[in-house]
Structure 1
Amino acid sequence: MKNSQTLFYLDDDDEDLDFFKEIAEDLGHTVRGFSEGRIMLLVLETERQKPDMIFLDIHMPILNGQEILEIIKKSDTLKKIPIVMVSGAYPKKLVKHFSDLGVDYMMKKHHVHDYRESLREILDTHFRKSRAAS
């Protein structure tokens, strides 16, 4: 497993997309940002190289993060990709729901240091799990 990971990030807010991309790239990762779920799903289905991890904004127009999660989890070729749900809110019921599905949850933070630390923690945890499994 490599230290640098390819991350897909879905968010309909361009500022949030740019913020995530800047921080993740600063941490040494490659980010492909998407503002529409159907386009990200098309890329996931058609491109041979899959991301190491997918980050989904929960509140999206047309296809929301929950709906996209369900589509990914039903796909034999995509269901093993780790997914992190992202939201500006942190309701305990929702966090538990995603945890029960085996999905991580990350709160959007607007302070660079806090966001960087949350992202680093999730990526480090995923990296350790991946190394242990191989």
Structure 2
Amino acid sequence: MLERIFGQDMISQNKKLVYLVDDDHEDQEIFCDALELVDSEVELKMFDNGVDLMADLHSESKLPDLIFLDLFMPMMNGEECLQDIRDNERFDEVPVIIYSTVLDMTKIEDLFAMGANRYLHKPSNFHNLISALERTLNSVKRNKLGGTAIINVV
């Protein structure tokens, strides 16, 4: 109904822009499918590495509403990306969720100290990913940048 009244462009402007930075294409596909089930009002843009992410962030394109950032990628890893993002105050309002298979509390504490807003442990199955994404998005909506949270669905 809204599409007929406002046109498709108006609808897409209201969508949240979410970035996923992950070099694993299978993980990208699964994440995309799960996110669509959790919130169809999201536009997902994917990057294979941190260099491409940083080039996009420094371009004239609209800033994302949220970044999901894998730690282990070629050329520029997630930790380096996080540091570069947090070193630029233009990106201060963009929540960064680390999205990784690692579940090391010392590493997670270091990432929070660097400026990560949430830590989402990559779930082992699709159903758990859906639950984890719901919890993560709700957590960010409730408290966009304040505090930190580890999301781990087992």
**Separation (CA, whole Å) in 2 of partners of 1:4 and 1:129:** 19
Shift of 1:48: 3.5
Larger displacement relative to structure 2 (15-24 or 99-108): 99-108
How many equivalent residue pairs?
129
TM-score, structure 1 length as denominator? 0.87
Aligned to 2:28: 17
Q: How does 1:11-90 map to 2 (within 5 A)?
A: 11-28=22-39, 29-90=42-103
**Separation (CA, whole Å) in 2 of partners of 1:32 and 1:109:** 21
Identity of aligned residues (%): 27
Larger Cα Rg: Structure 1 or Structure 2?
A: 2
**Separation (CA, whole Å) in 2 of partners of 1:85 and 1:68:** 11
In the superposition, relative to structure 1, how do residues 99 and 36 fare at CA in structure 2: closer, same or farther (>3 Å)? Answer: closer
Aligned to 2:121: 107
**Separation (CA, whole Å) in 2 of partners of 1:97 and 1:114:** 25
TM-align CA RMSD: 1.8
Counterpart code for 2:64: P
Give ranges in structure 2 of 5+ residues lacking alignment. Answer: 1-13, 145-154
2:98 aligns to what SS in structure 1? strand
Give ranges in structure 1 of 5+ residues lacking alignment. Answer: none
In the superposition, relative to structure 1, how do residues 102 and 71 fare at CA in structure 2: closer, same or farther (>3 Å)? Answer: closer
